[in-house]
Homo-oligomer: A and B are copies of this chain.
Amino acid sequence: MKSQSIQELLSGKNVLQEVTVFGWVKTFRSNRFIALNDGSTLNNIQCVVNFEDFEDELLKQISTGAALKVTGTLVESQGKGQSVEIQVKNVEVLGSADPETYPIQPKKHSLEFLREKAHLRIRTNTFSAVMRVRSALSFAIHQYFRENGFYYVHTPIVTGSDAEGAGEMFRVSTLDAKNPPLTETGEVDYKEDFFGKETNLTVSGQLEAEAYAMALGKVYTFGPTFRAENSNTSRHLAEFWMVEPEVAFNDLDANMDLSEDFIKNVIKYVLEHCQEDLQFLEQRLLDEEKSKPQAERSEMALIEKLKFVAENNFKRVTYTEAIDILKNCKPNKKKKFKYIIDEWGADLQSEHERYLVEKHFQCPVILFDYPAKIKAFYMRLNEDGKTVRAMDILFPGIGEIVGGSQREERLDVLKQKISELGIDEKELWWYLDLRKFGTAVHSGFGLGFERLVLFTTGMGNIRDVIPFPRTPQNAEF
C-alpha cells in the first residue's frame, strides 16, 4: 500500500479508507493519542491507539521524536481540533528517540539553544514553518522572473576579480597553508595555486550578470554570496543568498518599478500559499512580544504587515529630500542619533534609515539619487555631476533590503571613475568591453534573500532564517 503525506490525509478525501502514513511523534497523550507529523505541513494527524491492543514495550517507544509507520482507517474525528484522525491498526517504531537524551522535547526552547542544534531545530514548529516559507519565497522568486521573461544565470562563486568592491573577501586556495610557494620577491606565488591566480569567494554576481543582460536582455541571479566582515549583528551573515536581476534598456525608474513589483509579488505568493505557517509565525511573534514594553511591539500583526506591503505603494524619496527630513527631525535636533546629520553628503546609518521608514513615512521607502562619493564606481552619474542613479529599498524592522542602480554605460565616464579610484583597468577589461561594444542604458539591483525571509516570517535574528548560518567563529555542521 502506498503511503500518503499528512497534508493529503488532512484534506479528508480518503475517509473510511485504510491508510499508511510515516512520520515523527510530536506528542503522545494518555497512552492513546499520537500527534504525528511528517513535515509536509505544520499540522499533525491524530492517530488513535487502543492501548489494550498493543504491547507495553511498543507503547513505551512511542515518544516525542520517534519515527513511526502507522496503518489504520482514516475516520472523521470525534474530538475537537481536527477534522480527521486515524484509528490505528498497526504501529511500527522505525526509530526511537530516548526522552532522556533527545533535546527537542515538547516544551519551549530558546532560539539560542536551538541554534546550537541546527541539525535538529528544523523538527520544531517554528523552524519548520520558517523553512517552508523560505522555500516558498525561493520558488516565488523563480516563478516571478520566469513569467516576466527573465533568464536565470549562474554567475561564478569563485572569482578571480578583486574589483567587485562590495566588501571583504574570503580567499579560496589549495596552496600549502603553512608553507605556500613564494615568488622571487618573496610574495605568495599564486601562479602555483589551483586557478593560477589569487581567487576569492564572490561578493556579488552583478558584474557577470551585466554581461549576460547585454545579450539576453533580462536576467537574474539567485545564489550564495560572501562577506568576510566581522559583523556580529542580527542582520549579517558571512554566507548569504542574494537575488540580482539585471535588465538591459531599463533606467532607474524602471528599476524601481521592477523591484517594487517583484517584492510585492513574492509576498503575495507567500500570503496565498503559506497561510498556516504564517498564522503560526504571527502567533509566535505575538507571544514573543508580550514580554516587551508596548512601545517596542510591532504596530501590525505579521499577516497584516505583509498585506500592507503587498498592497501599498512604496514611498520614493530622493537622498536630498531624506537629508532635509533628517536634518530637521526631533532625534537629530535633540542629538538622539549617534551620528548627527548636519550636511548633504553624509552616509545614512541604520538609525536614520529606521527613522525614515518606521517613524516618518511608516511604509517601505525607496531612496534614490545618492551622492556619488558614498556609492560604488559602476553607478550612473547624473547630469548634476555629483549624484548617481542609485536606489536603496528600506523596510520597517529590517533596514536595507535592496540596493541597486542604473549602471554607468559610458566608457569614458566609467574609465575616469575607475582611474580616480586607483583600480587597474586591466582587472576590469571584460567589464569595460561591455561599454565598448553595443553599450546601452541598463539597471539592476540586489536583494538580500535572508532579509526578505526575516521580514516575511517575523523572526528577529538572521541566523534563524537560514538552515546552517555562517558567522564569525561559527561554521559548525
In the complex, chain A residues 355-406 whose Cβ is within 8 Å of any chain B Cβ: none
* A369 smallest CB distance to B (angstroms): 22
In the complex, chain A residues 158-216 whose Cβ is within 8 Å of any chain B Cβ: 158-161, 168, 170-175, 177-178, 180, 182, 186-188, 194-197, 199, 201, 208, 211-212, 214-216
A466 at the interface (CB under 8 A from B): yes
In the complex, chain A residues 418-477 whose Cβ is within 8 Å of any chain B Cβ: 430-431, 433-441, 466-468, 470, 472-477
Cα(A175)–Cα(B178), bound, Å:
11
A122 at the interface (CB under 8 A from B): yes
Can you list 24 A-B pairs, Cβ within 8 angstroms, ordered by A? Answer: A3-B249, A5-B149, A38-B217, A38-B248, A65-B437, A94-B439, A94-B441, A95-B439, A98-B437, A101-B437, A119-B211, A119-B430, A122-B211, A122-B215, A123-B215, A131-B212, A131-B216, A157-B239, A158-B226, A160-B476, A171-B174, A173-B177, A178-B186, A430-B476
* A227 smallest CB distance to B (angstroms): 10
Cα(A394)–Cα(B432), bound, Å:
43
Q: A67-B439, A208-B468, A475-B195 are in contact. Are A180 and B178 (CB under 8 A)?
A: yes
Beyond A195-B470, A430-B476, 8 additional contacts (C-beta under 8 Å) are A39-B217, A40-B216, A67-B439, A119-B434, A131-B153, A138-B152, A139-B143, A158-B475
* A272 smallest CB distance to B (angstroms): 14
B437 touches A196 (CB 8 A): no
Question: A118: which B residues are within 8 A, CB to CB?
Answer: 211, 430
B238 touches A156 (CB 8 A): no
Question: A23: which B residues are within 8 A, CB to CB?
Answer: 217
A155 at the interface (CB under 8 A from B): yes
Select from chain B the residue with minimum beta-carbon distance to A441: B94
A32 at the interface (CB under 8 A from B): no
Q: How many copies does the complex hold?
A: 2
Cα(A241)–Cα(B226), bound, Å:
17
Question: A174: which B residues are within 8 A, CB to CB?
Answer: 168, 170-171, 228
* A441 smallest CB distance to B (angstroms): 7
Question: A477: which B residues are within 8 A, CB to CB?
Answer: 156, 159-161, 208, 211, 430
A146 at the interface (CB under 8 A from B): yes
A345 at the interface (CB under 8 A from B): no
A151 at the interface (CB under 8 A from B): yes
B95 touches A435 (CB 8 A): yes
B197 touches A149 (CB 8 A): no
The range of chain A's interface size is 35 or more
* A92 smallest CB distance to B (angstroms): 10
B171 touches A468 (CB 8 A): no
Question: A114: which B residues are within 8 A, CB to CB?
Answer: none
B466 touches A154 (CB 8 A): yes
Q: A95-B409, A173-B177, A475-B195 are in contact. Are A158 and B122 (CB under 8 A)?
A: no
In the complex, chain A residues 127-147 whose Cβ is within 8 Å of any chain B Cβ: 128, 131-132, 134-135, 138-139, 142-143, 146
Question: A212: which B residues are within 8 A, CB to CB?
Answer: 122, 131, 467
A218 touches B120 (CB 8 A): no
A33 at the interface (CB under 8 A from B): no
Question: A208: which B residues are within 8 A, CB to CB?
Answer: 119, 467-468, 477
A27 at the interface (CB under 8 A from B): no
The 8 Å CB contact of A177, one of B69, B131, B180, B195, is B180
Question: A217: which B residues are within 8 A, CB to CB?
Answer: 5, 23, 38-40
Cα(A438)–Cα(B98), bound, Å:
9
Question: A199: which B residues are within 8 A, CB to CB?
Answer: 475
* A236 smallest CB distance to B (angstroms): 13
A142 touches B138 (CB 8 A): yes
Question: A149: which B residues are within 8 A, CB to CB?
Answer: 5, 7, 40
Q: A3-B249, A155-B468, A435-B95 are in contact. Are A178 and B172 (CB under 8 A)?
A: no
The 8 Å CB contact of A173, one of B142, B170, B440, B476, is B170
B194 touches A472 (CB 8 A): yes
